[in-house]
A and B are shown apart, each in its own frame.
Chain A
Amino acid sequence: MKILVPLKRVVDYNVKVRPLPDNTNVDLNNVKMSVNPFCEIALEEAVRIKEAGNAEEVIAVTVGKSESQEQLRTALALGADRAILVETESLLEPLAIAKVISKVVEEENPDLIILGKQAIDGDNNQTGQMLGALLDYPQATNASEVMLDDSSVTVTREIDGGLQTLKLNKPAIVTTDLRLNEPRYASLPNIMKAKKKELTVKNVTELGVDVNPRTELLSVELPPSRDAGIIVESVDELVDKLKNEAKVIG
């Protein structure tokens, strides 16, 4: 079995992102970039499936600038067998990314595709589902447990109010939620080994898909700020304020 893990280079989750002074976009100058945390969980799951003897190959793929090779090397150090960068200078929208990855799927024919449920930059939560639609593969989003058998994959999903379990025909799409696993750290020997693993670079134009933007970003602003209130001295004062000043409890 072959597993494809599409992943994304994003601003590190510890970075506090701000708009550019002219409000045309967010300021990404000199900020730390990382693998999107949900994509790390996706990769970890794929590597664990391989380690359990249920897959032969894990392929990491990303769509982005040349610098995204850094994140693919990280993926290789974490256990991916090889990596593919589909290079583009423009920042693609989720639909375009899904189209590009669907072409990679057609070439690689994986049995399972595991992605993060969302990237923490755009917070769109779209790419996995769109890929499912383009390929007519079944999907299980927000996975907290993945179980494989010969022809299907059974996935427990985190939904509002609880858990739902679905059974999908393979090939299938799974997107990861937080509790699926806890990703490992790359060891130094594995980081060294990763430098020798295969990383293929192709240009997005080779794939012949329409990646033109459908939306325009008109402006990026800070959200309305919320002023700090007061520090109360005691529980009594707190209860009094909530009853008589804010009037939010009876």
Chain B
Amino acid sequence: MSILVIAEHDNTNLKGATLNTVAAAKEIGSDITLLVAGSNTASVISEAQQLNGITKILSCDNDLYKNSLAEELSNLVVSLASSFSYILAPATTFGKNLLPRISAKLDVQQISDIISVESEDTFKRPIYAGSCIATVKSNDAVKLITVRSTAFDPVANDNSDVPVESVDASTSANISEFVSEELAKSDRPELTSANIVISGGRGMQSGDNFHLLDSIADKLGAAVGASRAAVDAGFVPNDYQVGQTGKIVAPDLYIAVGISGAIQHLAGMKDSKVIVAINKDEDAPIFQVSDYGLVSDLFTALPELDSKL
């Protein structure tokens, strides 16, 4: 049972979700190959060589894969697919964009966003914004799976020197091109990998008021998130969004400020270890899942919290 894990990286560093995806692969089998496709990926490869649990790295270093275009990467993975019975990718925007394209080319019904491996062909995954958990059995000969990173602890960096094999690039699909990228620059940790997340909702009232969260986030080394309501209202960009259609987080501490607690938001954060809710409405559903609730106006509670940290 050989498993291919598609690494997510930015040509310089491996993305954290790759480590969780390898962890899920280890629950399926032990013959795990990691594909690193990109451009000038030497530093990614040397990082990947340290990963616990992988037996081989396939490297395809070609400009064609520099920007992870799904049209190009899917052709490459399809060309390698015959050696593998499983192909896994993280359920990030990278993996969600890419893997279904490979699945359809291989005539496989992909299993998205798994949260557990029950057996070699059976997996659990959330449906309806996490209102229910489905147990799904795949009858396809090859399984294509995206992995919810918060459900699997990342593998460690304790391997000595995983062998690397180069593979040839595929012919270019040449139907799409990369134009530009605008990545938010922040000194704070990434939302999906932060140990502490502080999120604001509609109760924040404006984008400007998010500075109240920023200051606390800086003291705690936390990432800042938001509910869909706050994104819809234009307070913050979409990449802040935590929830069913945004990012899934499970930090040690999640602080929800001015967030009522719609099911779609809970879907993105309810696996956090400790949840704090600050809301002036004592009937807000967020208090039904919080470990510590503070019924208070956030505009008085946040400055006070800031001063006491």
Contacts and interface: CB of A to CB of B under 8 A. Distances in A.
B245 A137 contact: no
A226 to B, nearest CB: 5
B301 A129 contact: no
Interface string A57-97: 00000000000000000000000000000000000011110
A138 B130 contact: no
Interface stretch (B79-87, B98-106, B157-165): B98-106
Interface in A148-172: 154, 157-169, 172
Interface in A93-130: 93-96, 98, 117-118, 120-130
A134 B104 contact: yes
Contacts of A157: 93
A162 B70 contact: no
B274 A95 contact: no
A52 interface: no
A65 B47 CA distance: 50
B270 A129 contact: no
Contacts of A177: 238, 245
B156 interface: no
Nearest to B254: A248
Interface in B217-231: 220, 228, 231
Given A141-B96, A229-B291, A133 B176 contact: no
B195 to A, nearest CB: 8
A158 B103 CA distance: 22
Contacts of A134: 104
Nearest to A139: B70
A17 B241 CA distance: 23
B291 A230 contact: yes
A57 to B, nearest CB: 24
A18 B182 CA distance: 40
Interface string A185-225: 00000000000000000000000000001111111111100
A133 B304 contact: no
Nearest to A230: B292
Contacts of A6: none
A57 B276 CA distance: 50
A133 B308 contact: no
Contacts of A223: 126, 130-133, 270
Nearest to B17: A160
A19 B134 CA distance: 9
A178 B138 contact: no
A125 B129 CA distance: 12
A1 interface: no
Interface residues of B, number: 91
B216 to A, nearest CB: 10
A32 interface: no
B103 A126 contact: yes
A179 B96 contact: no
A146 interface: no
Given A95-B104, A123-B113, A218-B122, A162 B239 contact: yes
Interface stretch (B21-29, B37-45, B200-208, B282-290): B282-290
Contact of B309 (A38, A117, A230, A239): A239
Q: Which one of B99, B100, B133, B184 has the greatest number of beta carbons of chain A within 10 Å?
A: B100
B167 interface: no
Interface string A6-46: 00000101001111000000100000000000100000000
A120 B267 CA distance: 12
Nearest to A158: B238
B176 A169 contact: yes
14 contacts: A130-B104, A133-B105, A139-B97, A154-B179, A160-B94, A177-B245, A215-B137, A216-B137, A217-B135, A219-B134, A231-B287, A235-B304, A248-B253, A249-B196
Interface of B: 67, 69-71, 74, 92-94, 96-105, 107-113, 122, 126-140, 173, 175-184, 190, 192, 196, 220, 228, 231-232, 237-239, 241, 244-245, 247, 252-253, 263-264, 270, 273-276, 282, 287-296, 301, 304-305, 308-309
